[in-house]
Amino acid sequence: MTWWLITFSRRGPARYLSHLDTARVVQRTFARAGVPIALSQGMRPKPRVSLPLPLPVGAAGEQELAVVEVPEGVEATTAVLKALRDASPPGFAPEEIADAGERHPRPQARAAEYACVLDGDAGAIAASVERYNDAEDAIRERVSPKGTRRLDLKDYAGDVVATPVEGGARVGFTIHHRSDGAARPQELIDLVAEWAQVEPVMRGLERLHITWE
Amino acid sequence: MKKSPPGFRDLSRDWPPDEVTRLLARVTRPGRYAGGEFNTRVKAGARPRVVLSYPDVYEIGVSNPALQILYSQINDATPAFAERAYCPWPDMADLMRTAGVPLWTLETFAPVSTCDLWGFTLPHELCYTNVLEMLDLAGVPLHAAERDGEDPIVLGGGPAVANPWPLAPFFDAFFIGEVEDQLGAIIAAMEQDGREGRLQALAAVPGVWVPGRSAGPAQRQVFMGFSASQPVLRPVVPVLEAVHDRVVVEVMRGCTAGCRFCQAGMWYRPVRERPVDLVVEAADRLLDETGCDEVSLLSLSSCDYGPVAEALTRIRTLRPGLRVSLPSLRIDSAAQSLSGFAADQRGSITLAPEAGTQELRDTINKGVDERQFDEAVRATFKGGFTGLKLYFMIGLPGEADDDVLGIARMAGHATRLAKEIGKGRARVSVAVSSYVPKAHTPFELEPFAGEQALRRRQQLVRQAAPRGVRVAFHDVAASVVEATLARGGPGTDRLVEEAWRHGARFDGWSEHFDVRRWEEAAKATGIGLGEPRVARASWLDAVDARLSAGFFADELGRSRDGELTEDCRDGACSACGVCAGDIQMDLVT
């Protein structure tokens, strides 16, 4: 068996896929292209596909990564890449295949750069971003079925910039992935939007770049 | 490009337009409205433009086989361009109204209202308010009489048009029966000048009924080319999780088992089967085309498909490990059919005795006896299945309390076998729905049991059900609405419109159905719920289903005498009236 690292982009209608939907699209695309995926062992074998860094629903991604195991003898050629591209649904595009060999690669993200548009007063959004950048801490509570966790967004989200655009501001930022986890883009935007008194809706969210360890 | 509807923005300029992305950022499951599935077609500039709709949420509608057939045939075999639109979930509908953004198509994000022909497939009565919701969200006038030359022609089809009256004023025309042979003529009619010209041409197409214009009923169309035709080979494959995540090969159309309550069994006669070679080849190609890992052999009663065993064996040989499903198992052949399932598919299955006693099953011509039921249940648990769901109806004609208690007795028998054979791992559950008499069936004039009787019978089942058996009931109030519409005559449309104006939408969904909206509508219109205006003459004015009144009278008499009618596939002709001239049963020999 051999592991492949597939770099792909997710744009247009494909940006509205969930994490599980995206994994299924990868499987379907391989099946349509006639490229086999290795199956797990057990009573109900599953295709060996994983996406190491989930992309939020609604977000476009330029350099996303899928880890796929293929049977022995299947080679990562340009013809295979073309077949995968041809078999993909609109907005989903495999860009590159890297053969990682027999050892299961477990890529860890170190940081990811994002951008989105916030509708509303661009000046207020810029002031909110400046306030965030100047703040020593930005404590938020994350509520989940497991309980409530306090986290300082400043430990996880930085390089925040706001640029005026029609009807609002484009906000760029970097999320840092640490051993104890990461902030969610929505958590930063909720804070910026709250301070700017605009609706916390991330329009056109894009993940522009991922730095892998 | 035609105008945008008044008060709505023009979505046709950019893709995807900002107006849409703003809404998608705010709703649950935005992928429902974004398209982008495998095998979608875009025929830029092609005319006429058709929009196909299923009046329910995307996850339900995208799997509908009828819409897949229409989408493939229009796009691949006519000059027209077919796009799709489904009913927006209430959160999206609210946002669309607030933002003034009209309903768009998934293929091009163009406003639905700018198409030439808007076709709805109408599966059942509880989606009628969704039709009005979609018309309103698109900015298309609700009533055909208020539409002008800029508005699309709105055409309805599907099994619910067996009685088109509850929706008649909202549609420009209805197509009665199977449309495959007439699609070309319908598309050609859209090439005529002006609304009047299009409607005139449409009214001349066999099977089309135009309310207020057609001189007589439209004769139900039967696609006699079915057996020789290819199933859909490039279906749209959703990229979101839909209700059915598998490819479908329609192996057979029609059913002659003759269950007297079953509208589909009457409506889709005669039986036509596809040759097994064609079925196997289609399954193989479909799996390549879609990347799916499960195939369903679809029909009203797939166990009756002549070469079902050969088809299962050959598909499995061609694709080892593939999951193959038969959506409708018959109890009298279940033991044989269950052996066709692969070991890893043996989870849960459904068997439908329909009624609790032999007498009532004979009344409805189900014809399953207790020995067959016992064998089927034993085969289920011996085959390793761990779940058995039994499906029954209450409110059937001639039903007595003992018939209802018979449901609990059968569930008890199955539970004992589950313990004995399934060794504690197997579970039995029961689903009980309420029978609603439908047009064009032998029971079409039988009374609806009514709310009080149905609630009492539900209570009987609940009290008598064996311990440990989960019993689920269909909402009686929803059945009352369904019964009111199923046989409603002219004027019933006022009830549908009033209910929609009171907020009724997604009435088939328990979390959205609210009977108070329908009660308000009933008060406003004077149309009593549960008291359908049973007017056989009115639905016969619109629809000639090719079924003879004499056949229905005979069947009703036999039903009252507890006599069975043979399946004409292997037995004597029941003289239902369908087979005549070129229209004949077409079986694989």
Q: What is the mean pLDDT of each run of 10 residues along chain B (589 residues)?
A: 57 68 93 94 93 97 95 97 98 97 94 97 97 98 96 97 97 98 97 95 97 94 97 95 89 94 96 97 95 91 88 91 79 68 65 95 93 91 87 96 97 94 87 96 95 97 93 96 94 97 97 97 94 78 96 97 93 94 93
CB B53 within 8 A of CB B118: yes
- Select from B63, B70, B57, B64 the least CA-distant residue to B28: B57
Closest-CA distance, A179 to chain B, in angstroms, reads: 30
Are B154 and B210 in contact by the 8 Å Cβ rule? The answer is no
State the Cα–Cα distance between residues B580 and B578, nearest whole angstrom: 6
**Cβ atoms within 10 A of the Cβ of B227, count?**
16
- Decide if A203 and B21 are in contact by the 8 Å CB cutoff: yes
Q: Note the pLDDT of residue B171.
A: 98
Consecutive H or E run containing B158: none
d(CA A38, CA A32): 15
Amino acid symbol at B538: S
Closest alpha carbon to B252 in B182, B303, B290? B303
CB–CB contacts below 8 A, A to B: 79
- Backbone conformation region of residue B440, classed left if phi is above 0, alpha if psi is from -120 to 50, else beta: left
Chain A positions touching B288 (Cβ under 8 A) are 32, 34
Report the C-alpha gap between B54 and B32 in whole angstroms: 13
Q: Can you read off the two tokens belonging to residue B581?
A: 């001239």
Q: Is B201 exposed, middle or buried (0-12, 13-18, 19+ CB in 10 A)?
A: middle
SS3 call for B338: helix
Opening angle at CA B63, ends B578 and B354, nearest 5: 55
* B272/B253 Cα distance (integer angstroms): 5
In this complex, do B36 and A90 lie within 8 Å of one another by their Cβ atoms?
Answer: yes
CA pseudo-torsion sign B225, B231, B233, B237: positive
Instruction: Collapse the DSSP code of A89 into the 3-class scheme (helix H, G, I; strand E, B; otherwise coil) and give the result.
Output: coil
What single letter denotes the amino acid at residue B225? G
Q: Does B405 touch chain A (CB under 8 A)?
A: no
- Please enumerate, as own/partner, the contacts of B454-459 that have beta carbons within 8 Å and a separation of 24 or more: B454/B394, B454/B395, B454/B479, B457/B394, B457/B395, B457/B399, B457/B401, B457/B404, B458/B394, B458/B432
How confident is the model over A5-24, as pLDDT tens digits?
A: 999 999 999 999 999 999 99
**CA separation, residue A28 to residues A16, B71, B566 (Å):** 17, 21, 45
Quick one: closest CA in B to A34, which residue?
A: B288
What single-letter amino acid sits at A9?
Answer: S
Of B16, B31, B291, the CB nearest to A27: B291
B31 vs A contacts (CB less than 8 Å) = 13, 16-18, 21, 57
State the DSSP string of B388-416: EEEEEEES-TT--HHHHHHHHHHHHHHHH
Q: Is B44 on the interface with A (CB under 8 A)?
A: no
Long-range contacts of B409-412 (CB under 8 A, 24+ apart): B409/B356, B409/B464, B410/B353, B410/B356, B410/B373, B411/B465, B411/B466, B411/B469, B411/B471, B412/B466, B412/B469
- Residues of chain A with Cβ-Cβ distance to B241 below 8 Å are 20-21, 24
- Cα–Cα distance for residue pair B206/B161, rounded to 1 Å: 15
| Angle, helix B276-290 to helix A19-33, in steps of 10 degrees | 120
Q: Over chain A, what is the mean pLDDT?
A: 94
- How far is it, in rounded angstroms, from Cα B378 to Cα B574? 33
Can you give the pLDDT at residue B385?
83
Question: For the residues of B511-548, what is the DSSP string, one character each?
Answer: TT--HHHHHHHHHHHT--TT-----HHHHHHHEE-S--
**What is the least distance, in Å, from the CA of B24 to any CA of chain A?**
8
**What pLDDT, on the 0 to 100 scale, is given for residue B320?**
86
Model pLDDT, residue B157: 98
In tens, the pLDDT along B283-302 reads: 999 999 999 988 999 999 88
Q: What is the pLDDT of residue B1?
A: 47
Task: Give the residue, B199 or A145, on which the prediction is more confident.
Answer: B199
Q: What residues 428-487 of chain B have any CB closer than 8 A to a CB of chain A?
A: none
- CA B451 to CA B525: how far, in whole Å? 20
ipTM value? 0.91
With a cut of 90, say whether residue A164 has pLDDT above it.
yes
Instruction: Output b/e per residue, B456-487; b: 16+ Cβ within 10 A.
Output: ebbebbeebbbeebebebbbbbbbbbbbbbbb
Residue range A83-104: average pLDDT?
94
Query: Which of B35, B240, B291 is facing A28, going by the closest CB pair?
Result: B291
**pLDDT tens per residue across span B442-489:** 999 999 999 999 999 999 999 999 988 999 999 999 999 999 999 999
- Helix ranges (DSSP H) in A69-184: 78-87, 122-134, 153-156
Closest-CA residue of chain B to A14: B36
- The shortest C-alpha distance from A136 to chain B (Å) reads 31
The pair of three-digit structure tokens given for residue B239, joined into one six-digit string = 């990229």
> Which 3 state secondary structure label does DSSP give B185?
helix
Token reading at A170: 């484009």
pLDDT score for B535: 74
Sheet architecture: strand order including B208-209: B81-86, B49-54, B117-121, B153-157, B173-175, B208-209
